[in-house]
Structure 1
Amino acid sequence: MRYKLITALLVSILLYSCSKNSEKNLKEISFSQVDVLQFKLDNETSGRSGYYSLIDFEGAKLLTFLNKKNNSIYLYSLEDQSLIQKLQFEKTGPNGVGEISGYLIENRDSIYVYSYNGRSVSLLNKNLEVVKRYSVISKEREVNPQIGSLRKMYKVGGNLILNSWGSQKEYYKNESYPKSILTFLNLENEELEHDVSYPAKYTEGVWGVQLHEVYHDLKTGTNELVLNFPIDDKIYIYDFENKLLKSEKVKNDIPLLINPLSKSQEKISIDLLSELKIIKSQKTYYFIRYINELEIYIRIINKEISEEDLNSGDLSKISFGESTLQFINKDFELISEVQLDKSYFLPSLFYNDGNIYIEKFQSDNEDILNFDVFNFSIKPN
C-alpha cells in the first residue's frame, strides 16, 4: 500500500538534516521525505536482503530482491508495490544453480544467477531452465567473487563483471597485492581475467578483513566502473576498453583520517568482533552510487558508533549507525552533504525519477518492507 506522509510535505527534514559545513563551503540542499512505499512480504521473506536491484522490465520499473531462504528473486512493481513475479530456482538437478548469491536480469528470457558456494554463474531462460553454466574458479589465483547490493554483477559487452574483493586469501599479509579485485567472465570463450589491485595505502599497516571490502557501481553511459575503498578518500574509475584505472581526489572535501588495526608490518591475530569495534569507533568510507541521469556520485560515509553502542555487546547496534551522504558532481567536487540517522538499511539505496529510496528498519510489522522516499535538490550559490 502506498501512502503520503502529510507531515513530510509540510516540514523540512529533522532527523535527516542538511549539513552546511563552512570549512567545505558546501551548497545548500533540500532533502525531504515525501512518501513511504510498503511492499507486502510472504511468510518466507524478511527485510534486509543482501541483493536489491531496480530494473526496467518490459516497460515497468521493478524493485527486485533476493530471498536466500527459499532461493528466490521477488519482482515488485515500484508503481503500486504489487508482487509481479516470484522466481524460485532449483538448487540441484538438471536445472539446479546452487544457493544464489546474486543475479542479473537482462530480460524475461535471460537471467544470470551467481552462486558463491558453487563458484559458478548460470544463465537461465524464462522457464528457469539452465541454458549454460560458467565456472568462476580461477586457475591463476584464489579468487571467489563476492557480489551483493553494493557490488552488483554487470554485463559489459561480452563480459560479466564480478567483484572479487574476497579473493585475497590472507588479508593480514600486506606487503603486496595481486591484481585480483575484478573478475571478467568472457561469455563466449568462458575464460576468466582479473584486474585492479588495492591502493598503496593498504601496505601502510594491517587493516583486517572488513576494511578490505571494495564497493562499485556502473556508469552506464560510458561503461566505466566506479570503485570505492573504505580507507581511501579517492574515487577510482575503471576504463574497461583500455583496462586502465584512474583515481580522482574529491575536491572541496576534508579527507578522513582512518587508523589501521595495527601500524606494524607484522601479521596480527584478532577476532572479527574486536576488529569490528575498532573499525566502528571511527569514520570510514562506505559504498558509492552513480546517478547516470544527473551525473552525480553519492558516496556514503559511516560515522563512528557511540561508546555506549560499541560496548553494548549488541551486534546490530555495533554494525549499524549514523551516516553521511556526500553528493559529488561529475568534476569530482563535493557539492553537498546530508546526515542520516541509524534507522536505515543503506545497501538498499537506489535512485529513480528524482527521488532516493532507502529501506527503513522496522519491527512492528515483519510482513511489510518499508522504503522511505526522499526528494532532493541542490541549490545553486
Structure 2
Amino acid sequence: MNTTLKTLVFTSLVAIYCCSCQGNSKNVNSIELMPSEEILSFPIDDSTSNVSMGLVYYDGQLINVNWTTNSLQFYNLKTQTKDKEIFFEEEGPNGVGGIFGIYPHNLDSIFLFNQVASVITLTDTSGNIKNRIQYEAPRRYSNAFVHNAYALSPPLLIKGKLLVKTHITGNYRAMTEEDLSKSDMAYSINLNSGSVKMEDLEYPEKYLSEGLKLFEPSIVFHPEYTVYSIFGDHRIFKKSKSGELETFEGKSQYLDEYLPKFPIDGARLETQRYLLGSSRYESLVYDDYRKVYYRIAYPTLQITQEEELIKLRQSSGPFVIQVFDESLNLITERYFEDEIYLPNNLFVAEKGLYISINNPFNPTAEEDSFRFRLLELVN
C-alpha cells in the first residue's frame, strides 16, 4: 500500500473519533532539541508502506505493525535490517483478528489488540499464541484503544493488571460538560479473570464549559501515577494512585491562546479544518532514558481551499515538539516548518528521539525504506 493511501487511513481514523534542520526553537533552560546528522534507514518490502501505522521500540528492536499483512516486523537498530516477520491469521482457531496495536511488555510477552472483539492475544517473537484474555468493556466505553501512531497511549502491565486507554461511545457531537465530567479515559484489565476496573482518570474540569472540543487524550502510564494531555488544552495533568490531581502549564508559544471549538453544525470542510488545521496537542511521549516528556503540537493554519486539506491528509504540515522535564516543567520547544518529517512516526531509543523523514512532500523520501533522523537534547 502506498504512502498516500496509508496516510489517508490514518487521518480518517482521526475523523471517526470526533523540517529541516532549520527549525525555530524556544530555549527555556539552555537546552535545545536539535536534529543530528544520524539517520537510520531500514529497507522494506513491497507489502510494507514507508509510513507506518504503528511503531514500537523495545530492547534494540523496532517493531512495525503492518496492517496490510496482519503481521509484526522486527527491525534491528544496530544492523538496520529486518530480523523477522511474524504473520497472524485473522480468523479461525489461531486467529487474532485484525491487529490494531501492540504492547510489548517484553519480547516474550507481546500483547495484540483489535477493535472488533474484547479479546487481547498474548504472543512472543516466535508468533506462538500463548494466551487469549477475554474481557468485557464497561458500558459506554470502547474496547481497549491501543494505536501506535495516533495520540499515543501505550498500555502498562502492573501486578497482573493491564492499564489501557478507552474512548467514550455514543454521539460525539452530543457530549456535554456534565457527561464528560462523569467519564473516564482508562481502565485496567485483570489478566487472570478478565474483570475490568475504571481508573478514575478524569477529563479536565470545565473542559467543555465554553463549547465542544475534541477530547482525545494521550496518556503515559507510570506505576505510581499517570500523566496525560488533551487535544484542546494547553495544560498537562498528573494523577497519583492516591487520587491527587495536579495540573501544569504547558502552552506552546506557537499555538493560539484560546484553542478553537469543534464546529458542531459545521460543514465537512469546517470539521476537517478543525481536525487537521487548528491549534491542538496530540501525542505525549515519555523518554525513560533522559526522564523527559515530548509533546507533539500543531499551530493553526490559514486554510481556505479544500486542496490544502487534502494535502494535510497526506502530511501533518508544520508542527512543534515540546520537551518537559520529569517535574513537568516546559524546558524547550522546537518548531518544524518544512515538509521533511512525519511526527506520527516516531520512537524513543537509547540515543534520543527518532522521527520519520519520509514525509510524502520531502524530495529525499524513499519508498523502499523506513528513514528516521535522530533528534537530540543538547545544552
**TM-score exceeds 0.5:** yes
Deviations 1:316-347 (A, max 9, x none): 35861111111222232222111123432212
Match of 2:51 among 20, 26, 48: 48
What displacement does 1:223 show? 4.7
Instruction: Pick the aligned partner of 1:38 from 38, 41, 48.
Output: 41
What CA distance in whole angstroms lies between the structure 2 residues aligned with 1:30 and 1:74? 29
Distance of 2:81 and 2:129 partners within structure 1: 28
Deviations 1:29-77 (A, max 9, x none): 2613221111111111102222211001xxxx11111001110011100
1:204 corresponding residue in structure 2: 209
Q: Distance in 1 between matches of 2:126 and 2:25?
A: 50
Aligned to 2:310: 314
* Amino acid aligned to 2:130: V
Deviates more, 1:273-282 or 1:192-201: 273-282
Higher RCO (CA 8 Å, separation ≥ 6 residues): 2
- 1:337 aligns with 333
Aligned residue in 2 for 1:7: none
Q: Is the 8 A contact 2:24 2:336 kept in 1?
A: no
Q: How many residue pairs align between the two structures?
A: 347
115-124 vs 316-325, which moves further: 316-325
Change (3 A) 1:366 1:83: same
Out of 139-148 and 151-160, give the one that drifted further.
139-148
Q: Distance in 1 between matches of 2:22 and 2:247?
A: 28
Structure 2 distance, partners of 1:228, 1:356, is 19
Q: Indicate the residue corresponding to 2:96 in structure 1.
A: 97
1:68-83 → structure 2 map (5 Å cutoff): 68-83=67-82
Could you tell me how far apart the structure 1 residues matched to 2:36 and 2:302 are? 26
1:342-357 aligned at under 5 Å gives the runs 342-357=339-354
Amino acid corresponding to residue 37 of structure 1 in structure 2: L
Residue in 1 that maps onto 2:4: none
Q: CA–CA distance in 2 between the matches of 1:365 and 1:54?
A: 21
1:193 to partner: Cα distance: 1.3
CA distance in 1, matches of 2:296, 2:276: 14
Any gaps of 5 or more consecutive residues in structure 2? 1-18
After TM superposition, the structure 1 = structure 2 runs for residues 54-69 of structure 1, keeping only pairs within 5 Å, are 54-56=57-59, 61-69=60-68
State the distance in 2 between where 1:216 and 1:33 align: 28
Q: 2:161 is matched by which residue type in structure 1?
A: N
Residue from 19, 23, 30 that aligns with 1:17: 23
Q: CA RMSD in A?
A: 2.7
Identity score, percent: 21
Q: What's the CA shift string for 1:187-245, capped at 9, x where partnerless?
A: 1221011232322233224435xx221112244xx553321101112212233x43x25
276-285 vs 89-98, which moves further: 276-285
1:289 aligns with 2:279: no
- CA distance change for structure 1 residues 16 and 123 in 2, over 3 Å: closer, same or farther? same
Point out the structure with max Rg over C-alpha. Answer: 1
Q: Is the 8 A contact 1:71 1:99 kept in 2?
A: yes
Do structure 1's residue 181 and structure 2's residue 178 form an aligned pair?
no
Q: If the length of structure 2 is used for normalisation, what is the TM-score?
A: 0.82
